[in-house]
Amino acid sequence: MQSELLAIGLLLAGSLSGATGLAFPVVAGPLILLEYPPPQAVMIISICSIAGQLLSITLLHKAVPYRITWHFILPGLLCIPVGTLTLLMADSTIIRIGFGAMLSVSSLCMLVGAPILGFRSKIIDAIVGACGGFCGGAFGASSVLPAFWLCAQGLDRRTQRGIVQPYIVSVQLVSLCILLAGGAYSGVAVFDILLWLPAVLAGVTFGSFVFSHLQNQVYSQAIFLITLASSLVLVARH
């Protein structure tokens, strides 16, 4: 893939991430994997994603009520190693296809007008957070289920983002530490990361501006479309 095309793809991924707080690994992952071996690709994706998330939090901190929801985050952090171990030991094809099929059905139901649940529960938050951490380790899609759960509760887009984005940053940081401990940095030049960061951060800046002009319904539909896209990517990569 030509460098220009990859830069455009990362710009788009950054824009979607800035607009929704999600989507960067889903869009950028397949592109970077075409250029780098999987461990190095995941390392680059993680670093770019964390940088983009931190930038968008900085840009939107006055518009979004960010908060650390520990009963949501801690179960996710604890389950990341479990997800990684499951991926290494189990049949990853079956896991990815089953997970992708479940998300496809769920997101399609929500897109065609499934009723909003409209309730909160710390116990369910913890379960969903744990599932997100497990999926982050097993599938690389930590934010899909938490974002889906928050949207289904009928929360406004700022409240949704204020909860899920700190969750994403926390899970990604732990995942990155696990990758570093496993030696995934081997063969990754600092120049490779610095080469793509400007495109990612430019996209995030634009996407963060777009976020301020989205309506709640459009935001929720974007979350469900991203969920559907994530599930299709998981199935396609079996």
9-18, 42-51, 179-188: least confidently modelled range: 179-188
Q: At what angle do helices 70-89 and 122-138 cross, to 10 degrees?
A: 30
Rounded to whole angstroms, the maximal C-alpha distance in the chain is 49
Reported as a single tens digit per residue, the pLDDT across 46-67 is 888 889 999 999 999 988 999 9
Asked if 232 and 100 touch (Cβ cutoff 8 Å), the reply is yes
**Confidence class of residue 116 from pLDDT cuts 50, 70 and 90?**
low
Reading phi first (left if > 0) and then psi (alpha if -120 to 50, else beta), residue 118 is in left
**Confidence class of residue 166 from pLDDT cuts 50, 70 and 90?**
very high
Specify the residue for token string 């983009």: 52
Domain tally, the chain: 1
Please, what is the average pLDDT of the chain? 78
Range of the domain at 108: 3-236
pTM of this prediction?
Answer: 0.81
Asked if 10 and 194 touch (Cβ cutoff 8 Å), the reply is no
pLDDT at 104: 72
Asked if 135 and 144 touch (Cβ cutoff 8 Å), the reply is yes
